Amino acid sequence: MEPKTIFEKSVKGRIGYSLPECEIDKNLEDFFPTEILRKVKPNLPEVSELDAMRHYIEISAKNHFIEKGFYPLGSCTMKYNPKINDIVNTLLGLTNLHPYQPEDTIQGALQIMYELQNDLSEISGMAEVSLQPVAGAHSEFAGANIIYNYHKNKGNQKTKIIMPDSAHGTNPATSALHGYEVVEIKSNEQGKVDIDALKQVIAKDIAGFMLTNPNTLGVFETEVKEIAEIIHSVDGLMYMDGANLNAMLGYIRPGDIGVDIVHFNLHKTFSTPHGGGGPGGGGIGVIKKLVRFLPFPIIKKENDKYYFDYNIKNSIGKVHSFYGNFLVMVRAYIYLKMLGEKGLQRVAENAIINTNYLMKKLENYFPVPYQKDVMHEFVASGEKFKKYDVKTLDIAKRLLDYGFHAPTIYFPLIVHEALMIEPTETESKETLDSFIEAMIKISEEAESNPEKLKNAPENTPVGRLDETAAIKNLDVKFSFDDEITETANKR
Ligand SMILES: *Cc1c(COP(=O)(O)O)cnc(C)c1O
C-alpha cells in the first residue's frame, strides 16, 4: 500500500487536542501589524492523538536506529545513548532557561558547564576547555584559528599544517578552509605516521600537525611523543582530533603525550544521539600557554558563584551563538557522572575488546590489512570479491537485509573497497556473533550467488536506489497549499 502523508490521513473536524477558552477578548490585529498576519488559515492535518502517534511510529520504524539494531558505522561511534540522559534533559529547570537570564538565576546550569569543562580537562590532560564549538569539524576550525593566532601573536611566519593520509577528512578541510596549505604525508606499513616522511617535510613554515588518534584505520598512533617533539622543534602546535577518544578514556591523556590542542565529540564519546546533522557538541581543550586564545565565554567560579568569563586576553572570540549546545553538554555531564572514573575506563576496554573480537572472527573472510594496535574500529577490505563482480557497496546493501546498519564504506581511502567497522562498547557478544554470522553468510553468497548481493536490499522499505538520482530527483510529497508555500514558491 502506498504510504500516506499525515495530510492525506487528515479528516476534517477530527481533532486530537482540547484547549481552554482564550481569556483575552482582543483580536490578533490589536497586537500585531496586519501586514504580517496570515490571511488564510494554515492547512494543518486533523487527526486523533492515536493516529498521529501511529503515523510517526510507522515512519520511524522504516528507519534504522541504535535501539532497533546493530549500527557498526565506522568513525561515527553509534553507541547506545542511555535514556537517563534524556530524562534529565526534559527537566523544566534546564529546558526553560533563557540565554539572557541573569547569572545568579542560572547557577545550576553554570555549575554543569563548569564541572564538564573540568572533567574534560582532567580526562584529556589539558589546562582548560571551552564548550563553545558544536561539532568536531567546528572545533577543528576553531583549533586552526587558535594555531593561527598563536603564531600571529609571536610574529611567526607559518603557512602549512601537516597531517597523515589516514587523517579524518575534516582535518584537511578545516585547515584548508582556514587558509593553511595542507601537507599530506604517507602512512607507514603499519598504518601509522611515517616519522621519516615527517622529517622530510618539517620546516620553519610549519604551523602545526593534525593527528587523528586512534587514526581512521582504528590504529593507535604510538609515536605521538616523537611526532610532537619534531613539531615543537619548529614551534609548531600539535592538534589531536579526539573524535575517537572513546578508545583511550581513562587510560591515555593527550596532554601527557605532547598534544597542545584536542577536541571532543560530545555526541560520540559522551553520548548524544546523532546523525542527520546535529545538534552536537565539540568542546576544545588546550594546554596552559594557549588558554588565552580559547573561544569565550568560559565558566569560572569565585566565592561559590559561577559566572561567564569573557575576559580572555587573546580569545578568538565567540564561535557560536550564546554558549554552545547546552543540552548536549547536559547529556555528556550525566554520562560522565554516571560512569565515573572506573566506568570510563571500561568504556575504552570494551570498545577495544569488541573491535578486536570482531576483527579476529572476520579476518579470514574479509582481510584486514592494518591490524597492529587496532583499538575501537578496524578497516576490512572487500577487494577479493571483485572477481565475482561484487563490490563493497553490494556487501553493505546486503547487510541491510539481515537487519544491520552497514559499516562505513570506501573510507579511509588507503584501504581498497574499505569496510570500516566500529561496534562500540555497548554491544553484547551475542549481537556481535549474529553480525559475524551474517557477514560470513554474505561472503559465501558473494561467491555462490552474487546476483543476490547486487539486487540487495530486498527486505527494506525501498530497494536499491540510484544514489546520484536519489539526491537529485527527490521523491517527496508536499501537502502544504497555503499562502506560505505560495510565497516560498514565488521566491
Ligand atoms: C566524526 C569525526 C569528525 C567530525 O566530527 P563532526 O562532529 O561530525 O563534525 C572528525 N574526526 C573524526 C575522527 C571523526 O570521527
- Which CATH number do you get for residue 227? 3.40.640.10
Is 479 domain-assigned? no
3-state SS class at 45: coil
- What is the enclosing helix (H) or strand (E) of 209? strand 206-212
Same domain? 263 vs 380: no
Ligand 1, atom 15, lies closest to the CA of: 75
- DSSP at 388: G
- Give distance in angstroms: CA of 8 to centre of ligand 1: 39
In whole angstroms, give the CA distance from residue 57 to residue 365: 37
Atom of ligand 1 nearest to the CA of 268: 1
C-alpha cell recorded at residue 484: 506560505
87, 316, 390 from 281: Cα distances, Å? 19, 18, 38
User: Can you give the pTM of this predicted structure?
Assistant: 0.92
- Give distance in angstroms: CA of 137 to centre of ligand 1: 6
Same domain? 317 vs 379: no
- Give distance in angstroms: CA of 188 to centre of ligand 1: 23
Q: What are phi and psi of 172, to 5 degrees?
A: -65, -35
Atom of ligand 1 nearest to the CA of 170: 10
Give the range of the structural domain holding residue 413, as residue numbers without chain letter.
Answer: 348-472
Is the distance from CB of 70 to CB of 294 less than 8 angstroms? no
Ligand 1, atom 10, lies closest to the CA of: 136
Ligand 1, atom 2, lies closest to the CA of: 243
Is 225 domain-assigned? yes
Is 396 domain-assigned? yes
Atom of ligand 1 nearest to the CA of 241: 11
Single residue among 315, 339, 363 that ends a domain in this structure: 339
Is the distance from CB of 453 to CB of 442 less than 8 angstroms? yes
Q: Concatenate the DSSP letters of all residues of 398-446 into one string.
A: HHHHTT-PPPEES-STTSTTEEEE---TT--HHHHHHHHHHHHHHHHHH
132, 189, 293, 315, 387 from 142: Cα distances, Å? 10, 32, 10, 11, 46
Same domain? 325 vs 361: no
Is the distance from CB of 167 to CB of 212 less than 8 angstroms? yes
Is 4 domain-assigned? no
Q: Which CATH number covers residue 389?
A: 3.90.1150.10
Atom of ligand 1 nearest to the CA of 282: 7
- Give distance in angstroms: CA of 126 to centre of ligand 1: 20
Task: Report the domain count for the chain.
Answer: 2
Q: In terms of DSSP bridges, do strands 305-309 and 284-286 run parallel, antiparallel, or are they unpaired?
A: unpaired
- Give distance in angstroms: CA of 470 to centre of ligand 1: 25
In whole angstroms, give the CA distance from residue 370 to residue 412: 12
- Give distance in angstroms: CA of 45 to centre of ligand 1: 38
Ligand 1, atom 1, lies closest to the CA of: 76
Atom of ligand 1 nearest to the CA of 216: 13
- DSSP at 105: G
Mutation choice for ligand 1 from 79, 168, 212, CB with most ligand atoms inside 8 A: 168
Ligand 1: residues with CB < 6 A are 75, 135-137, 168, 170, 212, 241, 243-244, 265, 280, 282
CA 203 to chain CA centroid, nearest Å: 33
Same domain? 298 vs 425: no
Is 97 domain-assigned? yes
pLDDT of the chain, 491 residues: tens digit per residue: 677 889 899 999 998 788 888 888 888 888 899 899 988 888 888 999 999 999 999 999 999 999 999 999 999 999 999 999 999 999 999 999 999 999 999 999 999 999 999 999 999 999 999 999 999 999 999 999 999 999 999 999 999 999 999 999 999 999 999 999 999 999 999 999 999 999 999 999 999 999 999 999 999 999 999 999 999 999 999 999 999 999 999 999 999 999 999 999 999 999 999 987 779 999 999 999 999 999 999 999 999 999 999 999 999 999 999 999 999 999 999 999 999 999 999 999 999 999 999 999 999 999 999 999 999 999 999 999 999 999 999 999 999 999 999 999 999 999 999 999 999 999 999 999 999 999 999 999 999 999 999 999 999 988 998 888 988 888 776 655 555 555 555 54
Q: In terms of DSSP bridges, do strands 298-302 and 160-164 run parallel, antiparallel, or are they unpaired?
A: unpaired
Ligand 1, atom 5, lies closest to the CA of: 136
- Give distance in angstroms: CA of 263 to centre of ligand 1: 10
- Give distance in angstroms: CA of 258 to centre of ligand 1: 21
Residues 230, 234, 237: CA angle, nearest 5 degrees: 75
Helices (H) and strands (E) in the chain, counts: 15, 12
Same domain? 412 vs 320: no
Same domain? 200 vs 232: yes
Single residue among 291, 319, 339 that ends a domain in this structure: 339
pLDDT at 491: 47
Is 75 domain-assigned? no
Single residue among 339, 358, 375 that ends a domain in this structure: 339
The residues, any chain, with a CB within 8 Å of residue 224's CB and separated by 6 or more, are: 211, 213, 238, 240, 254, 257, 258, 259
Same domain? 317 vs 364: no
pLDDT at 1: 66
In whole angstroms, give the CA distance from residue 18 to residue 254: 56
Same domain? 352 vs 418: yes
Same domain? 367 vs 450: yes
Same domain? 301 vs 389: no
Is 34 domain-assigned? no
Atom of ligand 1 nearest to the CA of 138: 9
- Give distance in angstroms: CA of 30 to centre of ligand 1: 50
pLDDT at 480: 55
In degrees to the nearest 10, what's the CA dihedral of 398, 402, 403, 404? -60
Lateral strand order in the sheet of 181-185: 128-130, 284-286, 261-264, 237-242, 206-212, 160-164, 181-185
Is 92 domain-assigned? yes
Mutation choice for ligand 1 from 216, 265, 422, CB with most ligand atoms inside 8 A: 265
Mutation choice for ligand 1 from 170, 210, 408, CB with most ligand atoms inside 8 A: 170
pLDDT at 265: 97
Same domain? 139 vs 261: yes
In whole angstroms, give the CA distance from residue 270 to residue 279: 13
Ligand 1, atom 3, lies closest to the CA of: 136
Same domain? 187 vs 297: yes
